[in-house]
Structure formats: structure tokens, C-alpha cells
Structure 1
Amino acid sequence: MCECPGMGDVLRVGNCSGFYGDRFAAMREMLEGGELDVLTGDYLAELTMLILGRDRRRDPNTGYARTFLAQLRDNLRLALDRGVRVVADAGGVNPAALVAAIRELAAGQGLRPRVALVRGDDLTGRAAALGLGSPLGAHAYLGAFGIADALTGGADVVVTGRVTDASLVVGPGIARFGWGRGDLDALAGATVAGHVLECGTQATGGNHPFFAELGDLTRPGFPVAELRPDGSCVVTKHPGTGGAVTVGTVTAQLVYEVGDARYPGPDVTTRLDTVRLRQDGPDRVAITGVRGEPPPPDVKVSLTALDGWRNAVTVVLTGLDIDAKAELFRRQFRAGLSAEPAELTFTLARVDAPDAPTQQQASALLTVAGRDADERQVGRAFSDAAVELALGSYPGLFATAPPGGASPAGVVTAGWVPQSVPEHEVVHDDGTVRRIAPPPVTSPLAPLTGEPAPGPGDPGPCRRLPLGTLAGARSGDKGRDATIGLWVRDDAAYPWLASLITPDTVRRLLPEAAGLPVTVTRLPHLRAVTVVVAGLLGPGRFDPQGKGVGEWLRSRHVDVPEALL
């Protein structure tokens, strides 16, 4: 086991970043606000890998999260003085360059931290040979044992490229408690803790559907997991910080961006249907009972690619004859193009109201979007086709912003390679390189959605109300698939929710999902169901990452038993 400090049999792991662009001051807030053993930062959303890949293409010395380096400039000495290890995936697509930058920064401050590099995720140079095509970037999701080896070797700062988000927490747990590959339940428990922490303040009330009940959310605190030797934990936050940690806030994060009840990772497949939550005091939620299974034989690979060029213009239509005005603009815009781009869409948002008391409330929005492999097809000529209509189209025409040039479009997809393919290595501070072997036991992944929910019996009198009257929701994306987690807050309402939410119901409530594959998974211990709508998302959609789909679903009206109100 490593010298990772801990409070007896408890390892305190905090988070200070849920995405590239999160609150800059969070690192100092976490270091000064309370006791910690390890501070993690997650900077790598799928689209971030595309952004960083484009950065490195322009400048080979970039490709990492520069805000992390700036945070260390202000806080490295503080972390070293307090004995807090820092573990972050901020290396992005160029973690070696970030390690070099950290050492240069530290030397300039007269510091000598031990910095370790976890590498091997970058499969870009081997992509074609591995059957992954010719992407801009191909990065495998590495597990936690490399991070653990770095900490066991005494690293003060561990920099990784693409690892699973949960690995940032699982790795310190392995190093502290000595878990091996066979300790599947402990690894699964730590994976759940990592999943709760990975998105920062989403675990402490951020983006919560019942936000009005959570007190002061002006500046929610970042979460902390008190991890124990068996993999169980208590999720909490530093004293005096904003937000709240409740069973509801933790449930919301647990059902965020997941598929069915088997949550696969490179080290363990976590059974989400075994997770149990319990309020353990103010701002303390205990997570227990988590079971693990052997990981799948393949690991996921994030594939980023440039997908031509895009442009969009949004114009405002006010008052009367909205549909006729939109049709006139469509016809004129098309006539003004010398050639149509490969993709051309018009989306009319009828957000106007009749007899409106303000101009904004009387207005609708029409967005024209184009994509093409040739930049010229959606460049200035595209914008000019809208500008030229300023004095010769429908009455009251104006745009929400000046039309501009084309911007590069990207797409993120997933691939899979055998666990043995990534050359998972740790480069310790003294230059020693250690290879991390793949798991010796794997198991093919089989979907687990749970038995069909029995009907709740005679519900008695019902009222037609928004689903969100009783149910919370959180949604997001997995590539082009929308993920939605729904839950209720008491046992009596769960049979109603579990029987209500079926693929057909989802398609009825979300007409955009009509004709798309829908998967529903039931998680009774969490009083939750998860929904995956395949192919709902993508560039050009109003909400391309599906962040608001859950709130849309909550706003839809269903029959709610009066006995539950």
C-alpha cells in the first residue's frame, strides 16, 4: 500500500473540476476549506477531446487543459504544504507536455514536486491498423491501476490523458487500501463514488430539478467522498459551503449519463441496481451495498474527427403571420445561394404568444443551419444570403447576432479495442517506467434492464399534471444518444413511475424520439429509471448534448394519482 495519507480507515477524496471551464477558484476553495487527502479534477468531456485535438493540431505544444496549469500556479505550494495529492486528467491529448509545463512552473517557484505521468491511452497512430479508421484522435479509456501505481510511487501530482472519470477516485482508493484486481465489490463501490464526484457541483445541488428546496445555491461547494476499505463511502462537502448533499442530489448524479444497470469500466463492471443510499446526517449521504463484476474484455475508445464546416443564422419573426414569414425567408434564402450545402435545415421555434405585452414575447425564432465538407459552401456566401435579405424580406426582419464565417465541425464517436491493446504505463518522477497489465479476468457485457414493472394496481382518481410534479430528472449525452435519469422521492410513488415509463411512453411524451430505439432500465433501490434514446442528439439540434431533455420530459403532462400528491 502507498503512503497516501488518510484518516484512519477513511480516505478523503475531493473534486475541484467537473469540466474544462469549471470554477477556477475551486482548487483553492477545496484546499483551504477542509481536510483532504487527494484532490481530483475532471477536465475531459468527450467534446473537450475534440477541442484539445484541434488545439494540438495547430500547435504541437498544446492539447492539455491550460486552466489546470493556471490553477496549479496559484495552488501548488498550498497543496504540497497540506500534503494533498493532486490527480487530474487535464493532460488531455498531450499529457507529457503538461507534465513538462508543471515542472517548469514548479521550478520557477522553487518547488520540487514529484510529478508522474500516466500514458498509453493515445491510439491515434495505430487507429487504422486497429480498424478505427483515420480519426483526428483515438484515445482509450484507461483504468485506475496506473494512477494507483503513480501514488504508490510517491507522486504529489498525477497527470493522465484519457482515463475513465471514475478512475480519478478509484486509483487513490487502490493505492490507499491495496485493492487488487479481484476486489470487484470494492472497485465497484469506489467507481460509484467516482461517478458521483466526477461532475463537481452536480452532486451538491447544481442542475438539480428541485433546486428551490436546497437552500443557497449561489456558490455550491464541491463534493468530497470519504472512502472506506470495503469501497463504501460517504459523500459530503466542506463545512460552510453552499448547496446541499442529499439522497436526491446524489441520486441525480448517479443516474446521469448512464445506460442500463451494468455500468462498464476497464477495471470493473458496476451493478447500479445494487447501489443503496442513506442520509447519514446533514450534507452526508452514505453509499453502500455496491456489487461488482469482472470488466468487459474490450475498452472504449473516444474517436474524434473533423466533420466539415458549419454555419448558422437565427432571425427573429415578430407578431402576425409567423408561418408565412418563415416560408418567405426560407424561399428567399435558398434562392440566394449559388449552391446548397450538403446539409441545410430550417428550424422554427414558436416561442411567441398572441396579444403579447412585450415585443420579445411576440417573437419567434427561425434558425437556418448548414454543413458541408467545403468551407466555401457555408462560409461568407452562406452568411451573405441572409444579410442580403435585410431590406427585401418579411416585415420586421432582424438577426439575433451578426452572421459570421464558417467554423470547423467535429464529431465524437466510440470504438472498442481489446483490453491488451493500450500500452498502459506510468512514468514516475525519476523516469522509471512501469507497465500496467490488463485485467486477467473479463466477462462479456450483457445488458441488464430489470424485469418489466408490474402495474401499480388501481391508482384511483388521477389528475393531468406535469411528470415533474413527482419526478426529478437529469439528462445528458453518450455520443448521439440521449440519456435521461428519472426518480421519485418516496417509495409509494416508485411503482407508478416504473410502470409509467416505457419505450412507448417516452416516444409519446417526446415526439422527437418517434421511430428511435428507446431503452428503459429500472433501479428500484434508487427509486429510479434510466432512459436511453438512441440517435436523438447531434450537431444542428437545438440542444445537441441533451442537457435539457430531462426537463422537457418533466414538463409533459401525464396522469398523476391524487393519492400521491
Structure 2
Amino acid sequence: MAGHRPGLRGTAGRGTRAEGGHRVSPEGIAETSPKKAPPLRIGNASGFYGDRFDAMREMLTGGPLDVLTGDYLAELTMLILGRDRQKDPRAGYARTFLRQLEECLGLAHERGVRIVANAGGLNPAGLADAVRELAGRLGIPCRVAHVEGDDLTAAHPGSLAAHAYLGGFGIAACLRAGADIVVTGRVTDAALVTGPAAAHFGWRQDDHDRLAGAVVAGHILECGTQATGGNYAHFTDHPRSTFLHPGFPLAELHEDGSSVITKHDGTGGVVDIGTVTAQLLYETGAVRYAGPDVTARLDSVRLTQEGPDRVRVDVVRGEPPPPTLKVGLNRLGGFRNEVVFVLTGLENEQKAALVRDQMEAALANAKSRPSDVTWELARTDRTDAPTEETASALLRLVVRDADPEVVGRALSGAAVELALASYPGFHVTAPPGKGSPYGVFEAAYVEQGAVPHTAVLPDGSRVRIDPPARTRALADLDEQPVLPEPLPDGRVRRAPLGCVVGARSGDKGGDANVGLWAPTHDAWRWLAHTLTVDRFRELLPETAGLTVVRHVLPNLRALNFVVEGLLGEGVASQARFDPQAKAFGEWLRSRHLDIPEVLL
């Protein structure tokens, strides 16, 4: 890889491109030419640490690419890597990435595809060294660079890992210097696309509309197959075989920041306005989607079905980024334990009350009662059930405390001792064990200039990335969008909300979001006026007492609701049955309300 430098273009083989002979300079910026820089074809091969192992090979062999990205980091992943680093200071990065490279580095070299991944986690320099060692062992020339400066753990005592979310210009500097592989620590997911795009097209930090377009494309790609039909609300609109093995997405990014979202020919899944809208709404909030490079206006995005499995994304407006960077703080919150009692047959409410009183008394008499005790009864039982399992309800007890002994031996002993002394049919799904540690995620903010964003180039030289010259604090209130005309009154029928809208939900720290979109203009007219915050609360009683904010995205015919504090202290704290709110939107879609018959 290190010998011939085709810049960011290389899918027609090492050397000249098949597209008019356009070349890119060794710095990765398009050379002066009467022709515009050709589109940059960026694919994704990972949406999380543990995603499909073969995806890297599939993307490299499935069709032409210029850059292949991989997103390995999530809030929970940083905690996992932090614990790894505690055990071994040389650890702290996604080892799966190295194993994938061992199989695919030769393919990437042969096809001239550059690889950009945030798999460096807490130790990007360590991963870069490991990649060099691997390339040397395989005998494949490869120029490796990395991005660092995000690690602010030392400035946040008590944190297991504290990392700022960096932008894409460190990645761009590495690519301009001729890197074949760039590994980073904590960057924004979209930075994996804005960096290569800025290098390829020569964008500056003030090219806000172009950068915003790349941010939107990056957000669509970041979760892999969620953009090609994975976890898709309307999956039943297609043959089941369509989604057995969905292909990973790619974007054809243009110099003006517009893009076409697609996938390799012949791969499974679907790319249409619905799948792209679903991913656009995933884990976002207000119409201003702020990042370190630019603030993208999600209310400006226009989606057009350009052809089978091709969705054009354009008219994206950008604004200067905020003056601060988000910092993800991960710390150990304490220890937790749980036991799930199985209640079968008749009088399950009374059985639950009996065992709850027994356990509460046992915990009260213990040397120390856990600081947090939570009960939840899931009525999964049915009347006159044909199987024992469908006749059973589940009563879940979760305890938390700073002392592992308090949540360990005390809970286990109390639950086991009730085996012959409680409700009829007493048994548990699994015997409780020792307390296990849980994590807490918090967000902090720091001035952009206070973070030493640094590109470490293939020759070892270090380049400090300046913060944006222009920044703009986010407005306290978004502009109020113009709602469509209400749907005229008519006959209604009681039916699930999901009969007429799609949804996608997820987590951001302790908050949950659920985005809903309407497939037709009439459905949007009804949705925009019907699903108010008050109606949302009625349909989802678990949101009672929490702050719920509604954001309107008319261009996408979508609403985005953010529920603050639903997930407690974040996914690692396991505060809720669905700790990442992955199925929160599907619960909402299952709720019944009066829907106009013309929509059904």
C-alpha cells in the first residue's frame, strides 16, 4: 500500500482511474483540473464492536470502493475498553478489527481501498503499532496513521474513561499525508465520513453546507445495516428473504456535499426512503444536529428515491459548530444483582405480593439493605394457557449498592432460602450469584481549543488540528416549523399507531429518543397534529414525570421525541428492562388510538 499513491481514488486498480483519468495529489486533495472531483465512494463495515465479522471482506469484494469505514465505539464500549485497559495497559482497542485486517489487508491493498476506523478506542497509538506489526508480518506495504488527543481521563478524577468527541479534520490530515489506514480514538461517528470527504474534495473548515451533507451521510452509514433494512419497522412490506443477510451501506458522496445512499449490487436488504429516514432519526434529537465540525440542519434534508436501492440526500444546510466538544465520562457506578421469580397459573398478583413481602423483610433484616431496590412484574401469562411457559409471569428484583457484598450474598441467600417457603410453584429463572459491577455514563463539555486534537502521520510527525475559527452556540429554541393542514374529520377506527407510521428508537446517555415518520402526506397531516407531547405521554405511561420534548421535521414527514432520564444513568447502569430503548419505538407503534379510516 505504501508504494503507489492513488490518493483517495483506487477502486479501478492501483494507478489511473477509469473515470476520465482524474488523479488525486499525494496530500489527498484533488489536483487542479477542469473537471470536478469525482464522487467519493465510502462504505461501512461495522456499526458496533461485535458486528458481523465478515462484513469487511464482503464490502471489499462486493463492488468498487474508495474508503471503507468501521464504527466500533459506543458509550457502553468505552466502558468495556476502559476495564480492559485496567487489566492490561496495552489493551483498550477493538481487537476484532485486527483479526478482520489479518484476513482483508491484502484485499484492501489490491483494490486500493483506504480504511478509516475508530477501533483505536482508548489506545489508538497501540492499535496503529499493532497494524504495522501485522502488515510487516504479512509482507504487505501499508502506511498507518492515527488520531489522538481525545483522552481527557486525567482531567476527570474518578472516571474510568473520559473522552472528547473529535471531528474529521485529523483524519483528513492523515489521509492527505498518504495514509492507507487511519485509526482513531473517540471521534464522532460521522467524522469517519467527513474526514475522508474533506481530504478528497479539499473542503475547508468553513464549508459548512458541504460538511453538513457529509455529516448526514455519515450518520446514515454509521450503524451499518440499519440503513439497509436492519431493525426496520416496515420489514413486513418486503419478502422475509430480503432481510436474511442485509448488505452494508455505502455513500456516493459528491463535491457539493450531496450523496446517494446505496449498497453493493446483489446484496440483501433494501435502501429506500423509509430505511434512510429511520436511520436519520436514530439517536438524534433537535433539528440542529451538532458536531465538532459543523451543525447540520436535519430539517433541511431532502430525500429522493433515485432508483432501486438508491436514495439521494441533498439540500443539507450547515451552520458553524458549537464552541464546545462533548466529553463522554464513564465511571463505575457500583454493583448490581438480580433475581427473576417465575409465577405460574392462578393468583399471580397475590403470589408476587407474597414473595415481595418476604424478600423485603429479608433484606431489611440483613446487615445492610441495598441502597436501591427495584421490582417489576411482567404479566407474560395468559388465561387457560396451552403451555406452562405461557401460563407464567415474571417478577424481577434488581438491587444496587456500592458494596458488592450487600448485593451479592444477602440477595442470593434470601432468595434461595425461600425455595420451600413461599408461593406455590416457586422457582427462579436462574439462581442469583455475586454482584456484578455496572457503569454510569455522563456527558460534560469542554472548549474546542482545550482539546489537543492531533494527527500522527505515517512518518511519525505530529500535526495539531486547529479548532474551527467560527463557532456558534446552539439556539435555546429551534425555529417553530410550519405544520401541514390538519386532515379533515372523518370516520375513525381503533387501531395500533404502527399501522400508519414507522418508528426507530435508541439511547443517548440517560435519555431515550424515538423518531416517527409518515409514509404519505395525508398520514403526516394526521400525525403532526395528533401525536402531541400529551398524547405521547398517554400512550407511554412510563414517561410520566419525565421531561418529553417534541421536534418536528416536515421535510422528512417526521417527529422526534426525546425522553429525558428514561434510561437512568445510561445503558451500563441497566436501569430499565430495555436499557438502550431499542424497542421503545415498537412499543409506541403497538399502542392503540383512533386513526382515520382513510389512512387504514
Shorter-chain TM-score: which interval? over 0.9
Contact map agreement 1:462 1:562 (CA 8 A) in 2 = yes
Offset, 1:334: 2.4
Match of 2:505 in 1: 475
Match of 1:151 in 2: 175
Contact map agreement 1:2 1:153 (CA 8 A) in 2 = no
Contact map agreement 2:481 2:554 (CA 8 A) in 1 = no
Report SS of the residue matched to 2:307.
coil
Match of 1:324 in 2: 350
Alignment-mate amino acid for residue 265 of structure 1: G
Offset, 1:127: 2.5
Contact map agreement 1:41 1:89 (CA 8 A) in 2 = yes
Report SS of the residue matched to 2:338.
strand
**Matches of 1:455 and 1:518, distance apart in 2:** 24
- Structural mapping, 1:304-383, within 5 Å: 304-337=330-363, 338=366, 339-383=368-412
Offset, 1:457: 4.8
1:271 maps to 2:300? no
1:419 maps to 2:448? yes
Match of 1:248 in 2: 274
- Structural mapping, 1:532-543, within 5 Å: 532-538=562-568, 539-543=574-578
Offset, 1:371: 0.5
1:3 maps to 2:7? yes
Alignment-mate amino acid for residue 102 of structure 2: R
Contact map agreement 1:379 1:406 (CA 8 A) in 2 = yes
Alignment-mate amino acid for residue 114 of structure 1: R
**Matches of 1:31 and 1:160, distance apart in 2:** 21
Alignment-mate amino acid for residue 512 of structure 1: E
Match of 2:118 in 1: 89
- Structural mapping, 1:169-318, within 5 Å: 169-215=193-239, 216-318=242-344
**Matches of 1:23 and 1:457, distance apart in 2:** 44
**Matches of 1:246 and 1:450, distance apart in 2:** 28
With over 3 angstroms needed to count, the CA separation of the structure-2 counterparts of 1:233 and 1:534, relative to structure 1, is same
Contact map agreement 1:334 1:340 (CA 8 A) in 2 = no
Offset, 1:57: 1.2
**Matches of 1:458 and 1:269, distance apart in 2:** 37
**Matches of 2:247 and 2:233, distance apart in 1:** 18
Alignment-mate amino acid for residue 358 of structure 1: T
Match of 1:508 among 530, 538, 552: 538
With over 3 angstroms needed to count, the CA separation of the structure-2 counterparts of 1:317 and 1:239, relative to structure 1, is same
Alignment-mate amino acid for residue 308 of structure 1: G
Match of 2:97 in 1: 68
**Matches of 1:371 and 1:328, distance apart in 2:** 22
Offset, 1:396: 1.0
| Superposed CA RMSD | 1.4
1:165 maps to 2:189? yes
Contact map agreement 2:501 2:516 (CA 8 A) in 1 = yes
With over 3 angstroms needed to count, the CA separation of the structure-2 counterparts of 1:455 and 1:389, relative to structure 1, is farther
With over 3 angstroms needed to count, the CA separation of the structure-2 counterparts of 1:88 and 1:179, relative to structure 1, is same
With over 3 angstroms needed to count, the CA separation of the structure-2 counterparts of 1:81 and 1:357, relative to structure 1, is same
Offset, 1:82: 0.9
**Matches of 2:510 and 2:42, distance apart in 1:** 32
Match of 1:548 in 2: 583
Offset, 1:2: 8.6
Superposed CA offset, 1:268-326 (max 9, x none): 00000000001111100000100000000111000101001011111210001101111
Percent sequence identity over matched residues? 60
**Matches of 1:347 and 1:172, distance apart in 2:** 48
Offset, 1:186: 0.3
**Matches of 1:390 and 1:68, distance apart in 2:** 46
Match of 1:466 among 496, 521, 524: 496
TM-score normalized by the length of structure 1: 0.97
Aligned length: 560
Report SS of the residue matched to 1:420.
helix
Match of 2:592 among 537, 541, 557: 557
Contact map agreement 1:226 1:233 (CA 8 A) in 2 = yes
Report SS of the residue matched to 2:586.
helix
The runs of 5 or more residues in structure 2 that have no matched partner are 11-18, 20-36, 569-573
With over 3 angstroms needed to count, the CA separation of the structure-2 counterparts of 1:203 and 1:20, relative to structure 1, is same
The runs of 5 or more residues in structure 1 that have no matched partner are 129-133
Superposed CA offset, 1:111-143 (max 9, x none): 231110100000111235xxxxx3111100000
* More displaced 10-residue stretch of structure 1: 135-144 or 108-117: 108-117
**Matches of 2:480 and 2:425, distance apart in 1:** 55
Report SS of the residue matched to 2:449.
coil
Alignment-mate amino acid for residue 27 of structure 1: M
* More displaced 10-residue stretch of structure 1: 26-35 or 494-503: 494-503
Report SS of the residue matched to 1:96.
helix
**Matches of 2:421 and 2:479, distance apart in 1:** 56
With over 3 angstroms needed to count, the CA separation of the structure-2 counterparts of 1:452 and 1:500, relative to structure 1, is farther
Match of 2:156 in 1: 127
**Matches of 2:413 and 2:143, distance apart in 1:** 55
**Matches of 2:141 and 2:413, distance apart in 1:** 56
**Matches of 1:194 and 1:454, distance apart in 2:** 30
Report SS of the residue matched to 1:543.
coil
**Matches of 1:34 and 1:252, distance apart in 2:** 25
1:439 maps to 2:468? yes
Contact map agreement 1:482 1:535 (CA 8 A) in 2 = yes
Contact map agreement 2:454 2:464 (CA 8 A) in 1 = yes
Match of 1:131 in 2: none
**Matches of 1:540 and 1:326, distance apart in 2:** 21
Match of 2:32 in 1: none
Contact map agreement 1:2 1:152 (CA 8 A) in 2 = no
Superposed CA offset, 1:520-560 (max 9, x none): 11111111110001111133311111011100000111121
**Matches of 2:372 and 2:479, distance apart in 1:** 37
**Matches of 1:239 and 1:301, distance apart in 2:** 39
* More displaced 10-residue stretch of structure 1: 539-548 or 24-33: 539-548
Report SS of the residue matched to 2:450.
coil
Match of 2:34 in 1: none
Contact map agreement 1:2 1:176 (CA 8 A) in 2 = no
**Matches of 1:219 and 1:401, distance apart in 2:** 33
Offset, 1:452: 6.7
Alignment-mate amino acid for residue 303 of structure 1: L
Contact map agreement 2:344 2:391 (CA 8 A) in 1 = yes
Match of 1:493 in 2: 523
Offset, 1:59: 1.3
Contact map agreement 1:260 1:449 (CA 8 A) in 2 = no
Match of 1:47 in 2: 76
Report SS of the residue matched to 1:280.
strand
Offset, 1:351: 1.1
Contact map agreement 1:116 1:155 (CA 8 A) in 2 = yes
**Matches of 1:412 and 1:200, distance apart in 2:** 24
**Matches of 1:467 and 1:35, distance apart in 2:** 41
**Matches of 1:70 and 1:243, distance apart in 2:** 26
Match of 1:77 among 97, 106, 110: 106
Offset, 1:455: 6.0
Contact map agreement 2:549 2:562 (CA 8 A) in 1 = yes
Superposed CA offset, 1:314-346 (max 9, x none): 121000110111111112222333132000111
